[in-house]
Amino acid sequence: MTVEGAALRSALRAHASGVAVLTAAGTAGPAGVTITSFTSVSADPALVSFCLAETSSTWARIRDCEWFGIQVLGAEQADVAERFAASGTDRFAAPTRWHTGPHGVPLLDDCLAWLVCSRRERLRLGDHHMVVAAVEHALAGAPGDALVHLRGAVRPVAAPRASLVP
């Protein structure tokens, strides 16, 4: 037996997680969604993972995609995170700025980092699907502060600054 979903969500509100946007060239055009389940799995080979709910409209559009983009969002991109978390909108319409990357993957502009990944494994786990993907392209963007999800909201997190005192 496990705890109820509400109890788990309540307990994990104190756990900060990075904010990223998952994108793919879906069956009906570009698809994307804000995710906090993104994680590194392995450095050699380079593998990452993410999870999406079975009920996610984005999952329905990308479940058969072979290629995905992961955009790590910076502190100044809370509006992007909120746009890609909202349902019933064209997330790629203005003011979203994006371009087509390798393998036709839609990539958002001005992120801290971009990964283009190919699907390795897809697993049904409870009410979610986990995708493990091989990182085939990685690019670091301009340095900047991070964006995290904590206590039900996205929040900027400043990177530690070098001390001026030796």
Q: What is the CATH number of the domain that holds 90?
A: 2.30.110.10
CB proximity list for 134: less than 8 A, separation 6 or greater: 45, 46, 47, 117, 118, 120
Domain assignment present for residue 100? The answer is: yes
Domain assignment present for residue 56? The answer is: yes
Domain assignment present for residue 164? The answer is: no
Predicted TM-score (pTM) of the model is 0.90
- Report the number of distinct structural domains present in the chain: 1
% the chain with pLDDT above 70: 97
Which of these ranges, 18-22, 43-47, 133-137, 148-152, has the smallest mean pLDDT? 148-152
> What confidence score (pLDDT) does residue 152 get?
87
CB proximity list for 118: less than 8 A, separation 6 or greater: 66, 67, 68, 103, 133, 134, 136
> What confidence score (pLDDT) does residue 12 get?
83
For residues 145, 72, 97 and 90, what is the CA-based torsion angle, rounded to 10 degrees? -120
Looking at the predicted structure, is the pLDDT value of residue 4 above 80?
yes
Average pLDDT, the chain: 92
Domain assignment present for residue 161? The answer is: no
Query: pLDDT, tens digit, for every residue of 24-75?
Result: 998 789 999 999 999 999 999 999 999 999 999 899 999 999 999 999 999 9
Query: pLDDT, tens digit, for every residue of 113-125?
Result: 999 999 999 999 9
d(CA 87, CA 154): 17
Domain assignment present for residue 163? The answer is: no
Compute the average pLDDT of residues 91-108: 96
Reported as half-sphere exposure (CB side, CA atoms, 13 A), residue 55 has a value of 3
Domain assignment present for residue 157? The answer is: no
| Residue span of the structural domain in which 29 resides | 5-152
> What confidence score (pLDDT) does residue 37 get?
93
Domain assignment present for residue 160? The answer is: no
> What confidence score (pLDDT) does residue 80 get?
97
d(CA 134, CA 45): 7
Looking at the predicted structure, is the pLDDT value of residue 160 above 90?
no
Domain assignment present for residue 38? The answer is: yes
Q: How far does CA 95 lie from the centroid of its chain?
A: 19
Looking at the predicted structure, is the pLDDT value of residue 103 above 90?
yes
